[in-house]
């Protein structure tokens, strides 16, 4: 089977899937954007240990995409990315394209290729872009945002109806999928367990950043439109008088600009701001934490599952979440005793939870988190389910 996995974001677990499928003897081309920032990426370079059938290619526009410029992204950046992606796809000649985290206009180009060349298109729904756009753009630009949001949702529904199969990452997504004739499979996200080993609390990365003898809250990942950086400011402010506590934020973009301003305004010397770290050191980064932190906005509760939480589970640390209770990550953490979950708009509750976690300890939470990851993140079983989806979509081996 010749498979293109188009993962626009370049996340760790999608490239793990590509390597696994190539290890079974399939030819796999993993495509991703090399022009995005503000999102953590996995091990995307080919190594000497990789299967012969695995290749990866980053699509580089020659500049960093500014996601806040909606019209430029839609009418320029996505068009350029799509053109380069189609060139690579036409060269590779896949039997199936599995597309995740991909803007709708790029998905449309990939889907059109599949229809033209009798390949199969599998829509891996990581985020409901149309649903998100409808909510985020509502009321903006003097009413034009409402029209733009409705258009994006209709566009997404059209692409879903034309897909040969759909993979969603949570049952809650199903109610937002239009009536379709193709198979719809729920495959929950995971993290590459072997690439996220549990590390000692004191390690080289922590020493390098002066975090080996402090108690650390660590947030690592995207900090953008769906997030509330005031939650992180609140924790740092609450612990300002405790010299051995640090709030470490590893990210890029607008959210970090906001934190830098708050850091200066409030004199938050305990707020440590770092850029994204190399994927190879992420186990040490997470191992340095006493508590790992994730936040999500209320209206993102249904259409987004923060993948950073899945990596956190591998780290074996207590997890502090400010996410809607219906979110899959909230249910995983709460049901497995892996941390504390609070409403995403309640700064006081978030700060109280942070304080109680440091005071009471998080040993059992960390053990429970790692046990869940070891029990659930089996790439062999997951890869087999994707191959079954491909067969149900009509791909011939």
User: Residue 397: inside a domain, yes or no?
Assistant: no
Judgement on whether residues 14 and 37 belong to the same structural domain of the protein = yes
Rg (CA), the chain: 21
Q: What are the tokens at 49?
A: 């240990």
Judgement on whether residues 267 and 309 belong to the same structural domain of the protein = yes
Judgement on whether residues 7 and 146 belong to the same structural domain of the protein = yes
pLDDT score at 370: 95
Answer for the pair 22, 46: CB distance below 8 angstroms, yes or no: no
Q: What are the tokens at 170?
A: 């949570």
User: Residue 6: inside a domain, yes or no?
Assistant: yes
State the alpha helices, DSSP H only, in the chain: 12-23, 70-72, 78-92, 104-117, 129-136, 144-161, 204-208, 230-238, 254-266, 282-287, 307-315, 328-335, 347-360, 363-376, 379-392
- First CA to last CA distance, the chain: 5
Backbone angles phi, psi at 126, to 5 degrees: -90, -35
Q: Read out DSSP for 206-230?
A: HHHTT-TTSEEEEEES--STT--TH
User: Residue 46: inside a domain, yes or no?
Assistant: yes
Judgement on whether residues 214 and 185 belong to the same structural domain of the protein = no
Strand-pairing partners, residue 249, are: 219, 273
How many structural domains is the chain composed of?
2
User: Residue 147: inside a domain, yes or no?
Assistant: yes
User: Residue 59: inside a domain, yes or no?
Assistant: yes
Following CA atoms 347, 348, 352, 358 in sequence, which dihedral angle do they give, to the nearest 10 degrees?
Answer: 40
Judgement on whether residues 212 and 266 belong to the same structural domain of the protein = yes
Full domain range(s) for residue 330: 193-376
Q: Read out DSSP for 33-66?
A: ESS--SS-----S--TTS-TTEEEEEE--SS---
Q: What are the tokens at 250?
A: 């590893």
pLDDT score at 143: 64
pLDDT score at 230: 92
Judgement on whether residues 325 and 367 belong to the same structural domain of the protein = yes
Judgement on whether residues 136 and 94 belong to the same structural domain of the protein = yes
pLDDT score at 300: 58
Q: In this structure, what CATH number is given to the domain that contains residue 162? A: 3.40.50.2000
Judgement on whether residues 258 and 178 belong to the same structural domain of the protein = no
User: Residue 110: inside a domain, yes or no?
Assistant: yes
pLDDT score at 38: 62
User: Residue 27: inside a domain, yes or no?
Assistant: yes
User: Residue 300 — left, alpha, or beta (φ > 0 → left; ψ -120 to 50 → alpha)?
Assistant: alpha
Judgement on whether residues 381 and 368 belong to the same structural domain of the protein = no
pLDDT score at 302: 57
pLDDT tens for the chain, residues 1 to 397: 999 999 998 888 999 999 999 999 999 999 999 998 766 678 888 888 999 999 999 999 999 888 778 789 888 999 999 999 999 999 999 999 999 999 999 999 999 999 999 999 999 998 877 777 776 666 666 666 777 778 888 999 999 999 999 999 888 888 889 999 999 999 989 999 988 899 999 999 999 999 999 999 999 988 865 678 999 999 999 999 999 999 999 998 788 999 999 999 999 999 999 998 988 899 999 999 999 999 887 765 555 667 788 899 999 999 999 988 878 888 899 999 999 999 988 999 999 999 999 998 888 999 999 999 999 999 999 999 999 999 999 998 7
Judgement on whether residues 166 and 275 belong to the same structural domain of the protein = no
Cα separation values, 133 from 104, 105, 153, 228, 326, Å: 11, 14, 7, 18, 20
pLDDT score at 45: 87
pLDDT score at 113: 98
Judgement on whether residues 265 and 332 belong to the same structural domain of the protein = yes
pTM to 2 decimal places: 0.84
Query: By three-state DSSP, how is residue 296 classified?
Result: coil
pLDDT score at 354: 97
Judgement on whether residues 144 and 219 belong to the same structural domain of the protein = no
Q: What angle do CA 303, 122, 185 make, to 5 degrees?
A: 60
Question: How far is residue 71's CA from residue 77's CA, in Å, rounded to a whole number?
Answer: 9
User: Residue 106: inside a domain, yes or no?
Assistant: yes
């Amino acid at each position: 089977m010749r498979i293109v996995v188009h993962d626009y974001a370049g996340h760790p677990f999608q490239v793990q899937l590509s390597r696994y499928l190539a290890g079974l003897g399939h030819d796999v081309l993993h495509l991703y954007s090399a022009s995005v920032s503000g999102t953590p990426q996995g091990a995307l370079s080919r190594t000497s240990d990789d299967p012969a059938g695995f290749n990866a290619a980053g699509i580089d526009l020659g500049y960093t995409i500014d996601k806040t410029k909606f019209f430029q992204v839609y009418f320029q950046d996505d068009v350029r990315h799509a053109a380069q992606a189609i060139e690579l796809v036409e060269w590779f000649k896949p039997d199936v394209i599995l597309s995740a985290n991909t803007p709708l206009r790029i998905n449309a180009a990939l889907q059109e290729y599949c229809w033209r060349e009798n390949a199969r298109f599998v829509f891996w729904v990581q985020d409901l872009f149309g649903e998100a756009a409808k909510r985020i753009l509502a009321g903006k630009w003097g009413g034009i945002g409402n029209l733009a949001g409705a258009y994006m949702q209709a566009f997404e529904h059209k692409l879903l109806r034309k897909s040969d199969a759909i993979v969603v990452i949570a049952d809650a997504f199903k109610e937002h999928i239009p009536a379709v004739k193709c198979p719809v499979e729920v495959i929950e996200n995971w993290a590459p367990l072997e690439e996220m080993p549990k590390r000692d609390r004191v390690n080289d990365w922590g020493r390098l950043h002066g975090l080996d003898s402090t108690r650390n809250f660590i947030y690592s990942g995207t900090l953008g439109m769906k997030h509330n950086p005031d939650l992180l400011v609140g924790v740092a402010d609450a612990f300002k008088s405790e010299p051995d506590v640090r709030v470490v934020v590893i990210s890029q973009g607008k959210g970090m600009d906001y934190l830098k301003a708050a850091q200066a305004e409030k004199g938050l010397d305990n707020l440590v701001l770092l850029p994204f770290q190399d994927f190879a050191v992420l186990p040490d980064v997470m191992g340095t934490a006493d508590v790992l932190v994730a936040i999500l906005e209320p209206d993102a509760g249904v259409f987004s599952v923060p993948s950073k939480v899945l990596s956190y589970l591998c780290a074996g640390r207590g997890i502090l979440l400010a996410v809607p209770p219906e979110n899959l990550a909230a249910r995983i953490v709460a049901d497995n005793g892996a941390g504390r979950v609070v409403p995403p708009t309640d700064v006081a509750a978030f700060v109280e939870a942070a304080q109680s976690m440091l005071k009471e300890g998080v040993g059992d939470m960390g053990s429970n988190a790692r046990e869940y990851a070891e029990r659930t993140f089996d790439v062999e079983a997951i890869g087999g389910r994707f191959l079954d989806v491909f067969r149900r979509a009509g791909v011939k081996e």
